[in-house]
Structure 1
Amino acid sequence: MKYYAVIVAGGSGNRMQTETPKQFLLLKNLPVLMHTLKAFAQSEYQPLILLVLNKNQQPYWLRLCEEFNFRIPHTVIDGGSERFQSVKNAINHLDDDGVVAVHDAVRPIISTKLIDNCFKYALEKGNVIAAVQSTDSVRKLRDDKTSALNRNEIYLVQTPQAFTLDILKEAYKQDFSPHFTDDASVVELAGYEINIIEGERNNIKITHPIDLELAELLMKK
């Protein structure tokens, strides 16, 4: 059985209020993206790492790898205009049976334990996603009216999201839909029930400037 990690690195950094894409910002003196790749390289499953990156950003990434002497093996894949297309480009490079974990490049504090659990349960069940239960009260807004939801039934979805390669390839034969917010939504529309395992509160996504500060604090622990 082969294992793969597809690291999706997109985004222009607009919400970070910086011209540098967020995956290249420094976190404890190392670009965010390098922390993410290191986590997957430490997995006991030793996945083949595919980094999906905008073609225009690839020369800059190569310069960063030289500057920081970053030698973790990985294959760079051209990103698409949408996350859907980026993931599809990556899995089109995979011909063998196996398990694929898709992860946001800007979730750098992912533990190897969570990565390993995603691979393990995806192999057993066909798919699994990391998610944490909501601790806040949740309301839904529709037609200018709000209604309370049961927070015990609400889960906040994270990555990794792991799937057997046959399921993921079948799902990505579908045409793109704006309703696809992650890989689980693509696979679900293809007719599969999605399994959840407990994610990690520390597994934050670097989206806003305060997230980078929080990540620094979490890594110091």
Structure 2
Amino acid sequence: MIRQLILKKLKDREEKNYEYVRVSELGGCPLAPALRLKGYKPRIDEKTLLTLELGNGVHLNMQDILKDELEYVEQEIYDHELKIVGHPDGVIKDTIVEFKTISPWALKKAEVLPYPHHIFQLTGYMYLLRKEKGLIVYIEKSTGEIYEYPVQLTDEDIKILKAKVNLIYVLSQQDMETLNLLDKETLDVKDWQCKYCFYKHHCPVNNKGGENIERENSAYSS
């Protein structure tokens, strides 16, 4: 009963459709945000939906605890020149803070932290707010243990960031037949990213029949 009520509320919750690339999309495959910009809908299974909401709950709790210290909490910030938009977790003094939850299994398995895709996302927020310092904060789900990793924004980071945003917009203008010629190596995408991608059902790289999938199908799957 409660599970279904929660899932219904989560599925009924409307998400704003941004015309710009989201900073939260920058750490992953460039084709996923390109497909979103083309009008394709994400597909999120119920287990993932609940997992994401638990992570979101941790974010909200940390932000509430630090409400007297954090600025720019979840504020919608645009860079109209680069055409990106983001909602930073918060800023303490001159440092952008990005909270991430991590399972004990992932923490034990991880060869290196912070993850490169998390660093890339944080550099997007740092660029938006013109801050050179960032901090990725991992919160281990089972114990609440906190791990902090400082990140420094460089000119090379900005160059790479701009190149990826430009690539996303270029891909969003291509027809599906042209996108079908791409491969994971060209996109610099790992198999695990495809596994957890919300757009894999539409992806012409992951699914060669992707061009025949309807754009307006449900965003959620059971």
The answer, yes or no, to whether TM exceeds 0.5 is no
- Structure with the bigger percentage of strand: 1
- Structure with the bigger percentage of helix: 2
- Structure with higher RCO (Cα < 8 A, 6+ apart): 2
TM score, norm. by length of structure 2: 0.30
